[in-house]
Amino acid sequence: MSILIGRETRLVVQGITGREGEFHSLAMQAYGTNIVAGMTPGKGGQTALEGTVPVFDTVAEAVAQTGANASCIFVPAGGAPDAVLEAVAAGIKTVFCITEGIPVLDMIPVVEEVRLAGARLIGPNCPGATSPGRAKVGIIPGSIHREGRVGVVSRSGTLTYEAVQAMTDAGLGQSTCIGIGGDPVIGTQFLDVLQLFRDDPETEALVLIGEIGGAAEEEAAAWAAEHMADIPKVAFIAGRTAPEGKRMGHAGAIISGGAGTAASKVTALEAAGFKVAGSPTELPSLLRAAGFRG
């Protein structure tokens, strides 16, 4: 079993005919993801991915004709909020928005609309998700993964890749790896993913990769202390040397008024039973120290 994506995923890629959309769609398809449709306004009736995938003018048409049940969005920032809403209006329940640079005020009503529709948005500004051996959606390299039982959730893209590669090299496979995105307003938080991992019988350990800014890590830690006390849990927090008031990388990675510091997050995680690494490469040894054998 996996969370959010798997062999049952029937993916429509919004923006499949663009440079980024095509490049990453080919990689997803090569990994084994079932891409059933593409969507680009004005290019309906064409095909993509070397003639293997039909392209539609609207997501509604794609869903009606192919049974698509998930979407991955490679649409420029100006059109990405509407792309999310179009996918949800067409009945898609799992939407990954890879696009970065979307204004915060544009995303606030979108996140609420998605919630009211009973759908799930991952992102924006996220790398997507991989269920090793089953499917990958987004831009995470498929080659770094190994099938296993460690659930990985992260705000960072590249730190996710480093952590997953370290685990794979150490012989520790992953059940599902999810990048939730580094913007201040995102559709899925750490807490949401932890709840999914808690209910997944194939996830027996947890890796959480956070960074400065906000309180999402602290909230997830408090929940995990109560509901995931019996599974090995490790974490890494990026930005320990970041100065207050200066954005570091992601739009949401900023310490404001003394809140959202790396120290506060590490303290909360350790109090909740997480072993906190000093670098992503330490995560495999900490998992084993926490009792996980893989």
Alpha-carbon gap, residue 169 to 102, rounded angstroms: 35
- What is the DSSP pairing of strand 128-131 with strand 135-138? antiparallel
Which among 183, 82, 46 is positioned nearest to 125, based on CA atoms?
A: 183
Tokens of 230: 């019996």
Catalytic position from the list 24, 145, 227, 250? 250
**Residues comprising the chain, all counted:** 294
Q: Dihedral angle at the C-alpha atoms of 3, 124, 222, 233, nearest 10 degrees?
A: 50
Which three-class secondary structure state does DSSP give residue 39?
A: strand
Amino acid (one-letter) located at 101: G
Do residues 67 and 12 make contact, with C-beta atoms less than 8 angstroms apart? Answer: no
Alpha helices in 119-261 (DSSP H): 158-169, 190-198, 216-227
Which three-class secondary structure state does DSSP give residue 268?
A: helix
Sheet with strand 275-277: strands edge to edge: 135-138, 128-131, 174-179, 147-154, 205-211, 233-238, 275-277
Which among 61, 87, 91, 74 is positioned nearest to 25, based on CA atoms?
A: 74
Catalytic site includes residue 227: no
Residues marked active site are found at 250
